[in-house]
Structure 1
Amino acid sequence: MLTLTSIWTTILLAAAVALGPLATDMYLPALPQIGADFGAGTDQVQLTLSLYMVGFAIAQLICGPLADRFGRKPIMIGGFVLFAAASVGCALATNIETLQFCRFLQALGGSAGPVLGRAAIRDIYTPREASKILAVLASIMAVAPAVAPTLGGLLVSGLGWASIFIALGGYALVMAVIVAYGIPEPMRAEYRQPLKPRKLLQNYRIIATDISFLGYTLTNATIFGALFAFLSGSSFVLIEFLGVAPEHFGLYFACMVAGFIIGNLAAVRLGNRMMPDQILVRGLLIAVTGGSIMAFLAYNEVYNVWAVILPQALFMIGTGMVLPQTMSGALSNFPRMAGSASSLFGFVQMSVAALTGALVGHLHDGTSLTMASIIAICAVLALACYLLLVQRFPATGFEPQSASGR
C-alpha cells in the first residue's frame, strides 16, 4: 500500500475525483442522439445533466459527515459501487424519464470521489500546501475531460450511447478496488466526529456562518457554474448549431482542457512566489475576459467554432487558476471537519451548476448566445464574490489577515 504523501497517492486520488467529470464529459457527444432516440427536447435531455448535479449536491451533504465518522475509504468505496449499479440502469433505460432517474442515482454514488478526494488532501497537507497539491491534482485530473468527449464520441458512433454508461460503470468498479487496496486511510483517528444529528447540524452551522468559507465557496460556485453552462450547452451549440461531428467534438473540447491545464500549472508555478489570493484574483480577471469576449461575439452574431472555442479556452485558463485556491481556502479553517466542510462546499458548487445547466436548457435559442451570456454573467459574479467577501475575509492560516478582516 502506498504512503499518503506519495505522488502515486495523489494520482490515484485524482483518478477517483475524475469520476465526476467523466460522468458528465464522456456522454456530452451523445446528448443530441439521446434526444433523437427518446423523442425528447433539448430541455429534457439537458435535465439529465442538471439532475445529476442535484443528486451530486444532495449526496455530498450526507457522505461528508459519514466520512468524518467512519473514515474516507469505506464511504468512497460504497459510492463507487452505487455509481456502477446506476450506470447499468442508465445503459438499460428505455425512455428519458428512466435515464433521468438513473442519472440521479448515479450522482448519489459519484459524489463520494470528489468530496472525499478534497477532504483527503486536506487531511494530508497544510492549507498552503493543499492549494498547490490541488492544482497538481486538477492538472492530472484534467486528462479525463480531455479524453472523455473523444472517447464518448467514438463509442456513440461505433456502439451507441448506452456503451458510454457501461464504460463508466466499469471504471467505477476498478476505482473501488484501487481505493480499497492501494490507498491508506488518510483521516486521523482523533479527528473522527460523532454521527449525531444535533452535532451534524452544529458543524454545518459553524461552517456556514464562517465568512471566509462563504467567500471562497461562492467564488468557486459561480465560476464552476459558468464552466457547467458550457458543459451543458456545448454539444448542442457545437454539434447541432455549428455542425461539428460527434467524433470530432472531443478534439475541440481538448482545447478547453488544455487551457485548464495551463491555468493549473500556472497556479503551481506562481504558488512559489505569490499568495493564493493573488493567484485567485488574476485567474478571475482572465476568466471574466474570456467569458466577456465570447458573449460579445455571440451578441454580434459571430457564429463559428473558434468564436466559441478560443474565448472558452481563455476562460478555462482563469478557471484552472481559481478552482484550487478556492477549494483550499474554503477548507483551511476546518481541519477537524474537513469532510463536512467539503460536503457543504460541494453542495453549493453543484447546486449553482444545476441552476446554470437548467437555465441553458430552458433559455437555449438554437445559437451560442444563451450559453455565452450565462458564462460571462457567472464569471462577473465570481469576481464580485471575491471583491466583497474573500478580499475582506481571507482564511486564517491561508492568507495574512487584512486590515478589515476578522
Structure 2
Amino acid sequence: MQATVSLRLVLILGLLSAIGPFAIDMYLPALPQIGSHLGADVGAVQASLTAFFLSIGVGQLLYGPVSDMVGRKPPLYFGLILFAAASVGCALATNIETLVVFRFIQGLGAAAGMAVPRAVVRDLHTGHAAARMMSLLMLVFSVSPILAPLAGSAVIGLTSWRGVFWVVAVAAVLGLVATWRGVQETRTPEARLDSSLRGALQAYGVLLRDWHYLGLVFIGGSAMAGFFVYLAGSPFVLINHYGLSSTQYSLAFALNAIAFIGSAQFTARLGQRFGLVPVVKAAATGSGVVMVSLLSYYLLGGEELAVLIVLYFIASALMGLVIPTTSVLALEEHGAIAGTASALLGTLQMLSGAAAMQIVGHFSNGKPLPMVVGMAAGALVGVALTWITLGGARGHRVAAAQDAQP
C-alpha cells in the first residue's frame, strides 16, 4: 500500500469519474431546447436524466465484481468504449424515445468510471490518506459541474444540443488513452484469485447485511438525492421561472460546484483534527438546518432567487464534507472486496438520486417549491441516518479506529 498520493493518478481517476457527470452537466442548459426540438414535454425530457442515472447505478453492480476478478483496467476500457458509442447514438437521435434508450446505454458505459476509481483509491490507501486522495479526486471530479454547463452553453450556441454528445464522445476516447498510458493495475493477480462471480454474490450478501455500511452509503445517498432533484429541476426553475439565460444558469450552477470543491479539500485536514465521524455528524446536521431554512422561506411565500442560490451554496459546501468522507468510511472495513463495495455504494446512491428525481418529477410544475421540498427531504433523511449510523457503539468504534490512524 502506497504512503504517498500520486497527483497524476488522481488527475486521471478524477477525469474518468467526471466523464459521466460531464455528459449530464453539459446538456443541462439544453433541456428546454431538447424538449422543443424533439416535441417532448418536461417529464419526457427529464426521463433522459432518470434513464442515465438508473443505468449508471445498476451498471456499477457489474463493474465492481468484474474489476475484483480481472483487474481494474479492463472494465475501464470496456466502459469508455461503450460510452463513446452510445454518445454518438444520442447525437443522432431523432425522437425523445431514442434519446432515452441511448442515454441508458451511455450510463452503462459511464458506470465503469464511477465504480472503478473508488476501488483504486481503496487498493492504494486507507484512513486519512484515503480521505486525502478521495478529496483530491473530488476536486478533479467537481470540475464537471463548474465547467460543463458553461462548455455546454458554448457548444449549444455554436452547434446545437447534439454537439454536446459529440464532445463527450471525444472525451471518452481521450479517457481511453489516459487509462492506457497513465493508470497502473492496482489489483494484483494474487488478490484476484479469491474473486469470482459466486464470491461477488456472497460479498453483496455480506454488504447488504452490514447495516453500518448501508447507513454510511445512504447518508451520502441522501445528500446526492437532494442534489439530483436540483439537477433535474433547476434548468426549468432558473431558466423558465426566473428568466436566466443558459449562460447565467451555468454560472449559477457552477457556484454550487465551487462550494462543494472548496469544502471537500478540507476533509482530510478536518478529519485529522476532529475525526472523520464528527465531521460527518456536524456537516450533515448543518446541511439539514440550511435546507429547512430554505424550505421555510418558500413556504412563507418567498421568491427571491438570491436566497435560493446563497442557501444552496452553503448546503453544497457541507455536502462536500459529507459525501467523500462517508465513502471512505463505508469502504474502510471492506478492503478485500473494495471493487464490489464501491460498486454497491455507487449503485445505491445513484438509484436513490434517480428515485428522488422521479418522485419529485411527478409534482414538478416549473416553480421552485416542489424542487425545494425534494432537496430538503433528502437533507433531513441524511441527518436522521447520520445519527442512527454513527451515534451507536459501532460508530464510536469506527471513530476510535480513525483517530488511531496516522
Task: Identify the TM-score tier after normalising by the shorter chain.
Answer: over 0.9
Amino acid of the structure 2 residue aligned with 1:337: I
The alpha-carbon deviation at position 394 of structure 1 amounts to 4.3
SS of the counterpart of 2:101?
A: helix
The corresponding residue for 1:347 is 347
- Residue 315 of structure 2 aligns with an amino acid whose one-letter code is F
- CA–CA separation in structure 2 for the residues paired with 1:397 and 1:70: 34
Instruction: Provide the C-alpha distance between the structure 1 equivalents of 2:183 and 2:105, rounded to a whole number of angstroms.
Output: 26
Q: Once the 2 structures are TM-superposed, how far is the Cα of residue 8 of structure 1 from its aligned partner?
A: 1.0
- Per the alignment, residue 164 of structure 1 pairs with 164
CA deviation map 1:222-258 (0-9, x unaligned): 1110111111111111011111101221111121111
For residues 269-280 of structure 1, the aligned pairs below 5 Å read 269-280=269-280
For residues 62-94 of structure 1, the C-alpha deviation after alignment (integer angstroms, 9 at most, x for no partner) is 011110001111101110110000000000000
Deviation at residue 317 of structure 1 after TM alignment = 0.7
Structure 1 residues 99 and 191: alpha-carbon distance in aligned structure 2, compared to 1, 3 A threshold? same
Post-superposition CA distance 1:7-28 (Å, at most 9, x none): 1111111111111321211111
Offset of 1:221 from its aligned partner? 0.9
Native 8 Å contact 2:60 2:114 kept in 1:
no
Query: Tell me, which stretches of 5 or more residues in structure 1 are unaligned?
Result: none
**Aligned-pair CA distance for 1:195:** 5.9
Any unmatched runs of 5+ in structure 2? none
**Quick check: 2:29–2:152 contact (8 Å CA) kept in 1?**
yes
Identify the range of structure 1 (48-57 vs 180-189) with the bigger mean alpha-carbon deviation: 180-189
- Please show how residues 286-365 of structure 1 align to structure 2 within 5 Å: 286-365=286-365
Q: What pairs up with 1:224-235 in 2 under 5 angstroms?
A: 224-235=224-235
CA contact (8 A) 1:286 1:317 kept: no
1:130 aligns with 2:130: yes
**Aligned counterparts of 2:211 and 2:295: Cα–Cα separation in 1:** 32
Deviation at 1:213, TM superposition (A): 0.6
- The C-alpha deviation readout for 1:297-326, integer Å capped at 9, x for no partner, is 222232232122111111101100001111
Q: What does residue range 192-203 of structure 1 map to in structure 2 within 5 Å?
A: 192=192, 196-203=196-203
CA 1:238–1:313 in structure 2 vs 1: closer, same or farther (change >3 Å)?
same
* Stretches of 4+ aligned residues off by more than 3 angstroms: 193-197, 393-398
1:368 & 1:260 partners in 2: Cα distance?
22
Q: 1:337 to 1:396 in 2, by over 3 A?
A: farther
The yes-or-no answer on 1:71 pairing with 2:50 is no
Sequence identity (%): 32
Is the CA contact (8 Å cut-off) linking 2:129 and 2:268 kept in structure 1? no
1:28-43 alignment, distance < 5 Å: 28-43=28-43
Contact map agreement 1:333 1:396 (CA 8 A) in 2: no
Aligned AA for 1:134? Answer: M
CA spacing shift, 1:269–1:400, aligned 2, 3 Å? closer
Q: Is the 8 A contact 1:330 1:395 kept in 2?
A: no
1:389 deviates by 1.7
Asked if the contact 2:128/2:268 (under 8 Å) is kept, the reply is no
Q: TM-score, with normalisation over the residues of structure 2? A: 0.94
Residue 388 of structure 1 deviates from its aligned partner by 1.0
Alpha-carbon distance in 2 for matches of 1:238, 1:393: 44
- Give RMSD over aligned pairs: 1.8
- What's the counterpart of residue 180 of structure 2? 180
Secondary structure (helix, strand or coil) at the match of 1:286 reads: helix
Provide Cα deviations, 1:366-393, integer angstroms capped at 9, x if missing partner.
2100110111111010111111123225
Deviates more, 1:287-296 or 1:249-258: 287-296
Letter in 2 for 1:81: I
Aligned to 2:399, the other structure's residue is in SS state: coil
CA drift of 1:196 comes to: 4.2
Please tell me whether residue 97 in structure 1 is matched to residue 97 in structure 2.
yes
Q: Give me the whole-angstrom Cα distance separating, in 2, the residues matched to 1:309 and 1:229.
A: 15
**Counterpart residue number, 2:399:** 399
Task: Tell me if structure 2 keeps the 8 A contact 1:4–1:124.
Answer: no
**TM-score, normalised to structure 1's length?**
0.94
What is the SS of the residue equivalent to 1:313? helix
1:375 aligns with 2:378: no
Alpha-carbon spacing, 1:132–1:401, altered in 2? closer, same or farther (3 Å)? closer
Count of residues in Structure 1 that have an aligned counterpart in Structure 2: 400
Q: In structure 2, what is the equivalent of residue 205 of structure 1? A: 205
8 A Cα contact 1:394 1:401, kept in partner: no
Please list, as runs of the form range in 1=range in 2, the aligned pairs for 1:211-222 lying within 5 A after superposition. Answer: 211-222=211-222
Instruction: Look up the match of 2:49.
Output: 49
Higher mean C-alpha displacement, 215-224 vs 188-197: 188-197
Check the 8 A contact 1:142/1:257 in 2, yes or no.
yes
**Structure 1 CA distance, aligned partners of 2:194 and 2:169?**
32
CA gap 1:134/1:394 in 2 versus in 1, 3 angstroms: farther
Distance of 2:182 and 2:155 partners within structure 1: 30
- The aligned residue for residue 266 of structure 1 is 266
